[in-house]
């Protein structure tokens, strides 16, 4: 088991495109780190660089205390679970799981013992002598996990391991993976495009967009204090709603309401305001005595009842910034790449007892204290620039405290080694 450190790790292809740009990430020993982002954001490339399946164009990657840039996958002592499992079709489950040990020249009795231990954990006992083609999707997935755990490697790397399963099995396996990782407490890097998986599984989540790391934090922090409009829109389902707004004379103007500008925000003019669906409520069920609450009336377009909650899609009129402008801003700031991007409709999550009807106007309420304000120019979170950023940073700091120490030690010990590693091979000394 070991920590994994990425320092300015870059992946550049022959045609000059950069799939991963100067990625810095510290993954602590035993931590469950999720890389999440829309497709093409470089998360899989980053994982494959850690695995050694892709060359690192620039920067330094270390696993444990070793810089592994130039080590082949077999010398990195990591196990990987592939999206399509990559089970060896001509071997039985037992042989699949024992393959790595056999290559490592572990004694046959020892292999047998380890494979049987792993199969007991994964409930594969009855299938050890079957071929992968005779297994169900969920069983294959477990074999792939088993192949990783028998080796007791420094780290698990998982590339969308659950995306080929049906919805029900996915939820089940998600719990399984989480439990397994906690039991084994092996450093794990897990790539997914599914923000639900990211939120439920990870100790920390790293959100990526077009090769650039956006934010690394605990799921709760990402949700409550996204650093920019992209993270805000990507994390959460249904996604955060965005409105054009304006802050002037200490007042925040929304298309459907006007309220005092939140504390600590100056008169910055145009802003993008994000409100999470659950920060809306049917005015009838609005919490009493909530100082920052605000009511407004909006035409209801669609009502979706989920049983435990109701999703209401509403539209709104007016607003001083036209929606075209918002769309343009959204595109520039990357919100168009998030799931709700460009829909132009807003979603509210309401109390299931709400009697709001489709096609009518209804009174809605929203929590003015839970607004997210973003700079329309670059999409950054306006409030986080202030005091909350410090808080978020502190929280992140806490999570990586251990590795920071190791880091400091490593920095003192081997700066020359690092410089050497950064030199292109064959460069004159």
> Which residues contact other proteins (rule: CB under 8 A)?
51-53, 72-74, 78-80, 82-84, 86-90, 99-100, 103-104, 147, 151, 157
Cβ neighbors of 29 (< 8 A, separation 6 or more) are 1, 2, 3, 187, 402, 403
What's the burial of 263, exposed, middle or buried (CB within 10 Å: 0-12/13-18/19+)? exposed
Residue 124 or 148 having the CB closest to other proteins: 148
Residue 53 or 327 having the CB closest to other proteins: 53
Tell me the closest approach of the beta carbon of residue 56 to other proteins, in angstroms.
Answer: 16
Tell me the closest approach of the beta carbon of residue 20 to other proteins, in angstroms.
Answer: 18
Contact 161, 83 (CB under 8 A): yes
Tell me the closest approach of the beta carbon of residue 75 to other proteins, in angstroms.
Answer: 8
Residue 79 or 162 having the CB closest to other proteins: 79
The gap from C-alpha 286 to its chain's centroid, in whole angstroms, comes to 32
Q: What is the DSSP string of 356-411?
A: --TTSEEEEEEEGGG-EEE-TTT-BBTTIIIIIHHHHHHHHHHHTHHHHHHHHHHH
Tell me the closest approach of the beta carbon of residue 99 to other proteins, in angstroms.
Answer: 5
How far is it, in rounded angstroms, from Cα 416 to Cα 421? 9
Tell me the closest approach of the beta carbon of residue 282 to other proteins, in angstroms.
Answer: 50
Tell me the closest approach of the beta carbon of residue 135 to other proteins, in angstroms.
Answer: 16
Cβ neighbors of 393 (< 8 A, separation 6 or more) are none
Residue 88 or 285 having the CB closest to other proteins: 88
Specify the 3-state DSSP secondary structure of 48: helix
Contact 95, 132 (CB under 8 A): no
> Residue 392 CB: number of other CB atoms within 10 A?
21
How far is it, in rounded angstroms, from Cα 292 to Cα 259? 9
Residue 409 structure tokens: 């030690």
The residue behind tokens 């003015």 is 368
Residue 78 or 240 having the CB closest to other proteins: 78
Residue 262 structure tokens: 């939140």
Tell me the closest approach of the beta carbon of residue 179 to other proteins, in angstroms.
Answer: 23
Residue 160 or 279 having the CB closest to other proteins: 160
Classify residue 228 by its DSSP letter.
B
Residue 82 or 311 having the CB closest to other proteins: 82
Residue 84 or 134 having the CB closest to other proteins: 84
Tell me the closest approach of the beta carbon of residue 89 to other proteins, in angstroms.
Answer: 7
Cβ neighbors of 245 (< 8 A, separation 6 or more) are 252, 253, 254, 255, 270, 271, 272, 273, 319, 321, 373
């Amino acid at each position: 088991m070991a920590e994994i450190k990425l320092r300015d790790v870059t992946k550049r292809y022959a045609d000059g495109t950069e799939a991963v740009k100067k990625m810095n990430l510290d993954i602590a020993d035993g931590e469950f780190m999720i890389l999440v982002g829309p497709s093409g954001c470089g998360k899989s490339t980053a994982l494959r660089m850690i695995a050694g399946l892709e060359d690192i164009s620039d920067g330094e990657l270390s696993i444990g205390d070793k810089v592994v840039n130039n080590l082949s996958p077999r010398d990195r002592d990591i196990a990987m679970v592939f999206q399509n499992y990559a089970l060896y079709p001509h071997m039985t489950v037992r042989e699949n799981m024992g393959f790595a040990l056999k290559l490592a020249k572990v004694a046959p009795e020892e292999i047998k013992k380890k494979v049987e231990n792993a199969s007991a954990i994964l409930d594969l006992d009855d299938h050890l002598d079957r071929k992968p083609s005779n297994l169900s999707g969920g069983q294959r997935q477990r074999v792939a996990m088993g192949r990783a755990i028998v080796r007791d490697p420094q780290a698990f790397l998982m590339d969308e391991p659950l995306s080929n399963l049906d919805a029900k099995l996915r939820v089940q396996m998600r719990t399984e993976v989480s439990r397994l990782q906690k039991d084994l407490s092996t450093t794990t890097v897990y790539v997914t495009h599914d923000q639900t998986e990211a939120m439920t599984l990870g100790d920390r989540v790293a959100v990526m967009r077009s090769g650039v790391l956006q934010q690394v934090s605990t799921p709760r922090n990402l949700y409550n204090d996204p650093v920019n409009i992209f993270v805000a829109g990507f994390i959460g389902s249904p996604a955060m709603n965005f409105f054009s707004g304006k802050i002037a004379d200490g007042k925040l103007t929304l298309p459907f309401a006007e309220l005092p500008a939140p504390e600590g925000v100056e008169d910055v003019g145009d802003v993008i305001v994000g409100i999470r669906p659950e920060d809306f409520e049917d005015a009838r069920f609005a919490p009493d005595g909530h100082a920052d609450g605000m009511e407004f009336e909006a035409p209801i377009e669609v009502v979706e009842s989920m049983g435990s909650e109701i999703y209401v899609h509403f539209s709104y009129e007016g607003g001083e910034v036209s929606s075209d402008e918002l769309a343009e801003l959204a595109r520039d700031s990357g919100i168009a790449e998030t799931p709700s991007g460009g829909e132009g409709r807003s979603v509210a999550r309401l109390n299931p007892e709400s009697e709001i009807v489709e096609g009518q106007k209804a009174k809605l309420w929203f929590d003015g204290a839970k607004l997210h304000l973003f700079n329309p120019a670059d999409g950054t979170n306006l409030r986080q620039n202030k005091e909350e950023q410090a808080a978020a940073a502190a929280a992140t700091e806490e999570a990586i405290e251990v590795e920071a120490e190791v880091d400091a030690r490593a920095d003192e010990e081997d700066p020359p080694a690092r410089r050497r590693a950064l030199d292109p091979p064959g460069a004159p000394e």
